[in-house]
Amino acid sequence: MKRAALYLLLVIAGMAAWFLTYNGGEGGLSQFGAADESPPLRWWLTAAGGYFVMLVGAVLGVACRIIIERRAQGADTVDISLVRATFQHADFWLSMLASPLLYGTVLQTGAELPQGPFIFFALQSGFSAYVIVNSLLGAKGTATLIKPPTG
């Protein structure tokens, strides 16, 4: 029950990001109406589909990272425990909790893209969500653009 409530909270937060980023105009998601009009159904379906695809991308990204970690430890096969490990991994939960903010960025950045590339952009953003979150948190082992001086 607690997980269902958390998923519902993520969906509500994602919807809030959609409201904040809808700005009208031309092209992509913004082509569906002027800023002073309420978004049409097609906009909502594209926005909801993009968010769902981004969440799928986040799951796939974490699963890929777990497989890479297991292969580095010498495993050459994957079993069903990968599914459970994916949904219990800390990177999965970091990605899920950060997904509304990340999706707001996806909407702002990709609003001018046609529907297909926009969905691909959302999938790609979800796949790399844990990398983005870790870099924002300054987690150990992540690449940084500027290394602090030593000494």
pLDDT (tens digit per residue) in 64-101: 889 988 899 988 888 888 899 999 988 888 888 888 88
Residue 34 CA: distances (Å) to CA of 23, 38, 129: 7, 8, 31
DSSP assigned state of 122:
H
CA–CA distance, 31 with 46 (Å, rounded to integer): 12
Higher pLDDT, 29 or 63: 63
pLDDT of residue 126: 86
Residue that the structure tokens 């580095």 belong to: 72
Higher pLDDT, 102 or 40: 102
Higher pLDDT, 124 or 112: 124
Is 90 within 8 Å of 62 (Cβ atoms)? no
pLDDT of residue 146: 46
pTM: 0.64
Residue that the structure tokens 């379906």 belong to: 45
pLDDT of residue 135: 75
pLDDT greater than 70 at residue 63: yes
CA–CA distance, 137 with 126 (Å, rounded to integer): 17
Domain boundaries, given as residue ranges, for the chain: 2-137
pLDDT of residue 26: 44
pLDDT greater than 60 at residue 39: yes
Higher pLDDT, 57 or 23: 57
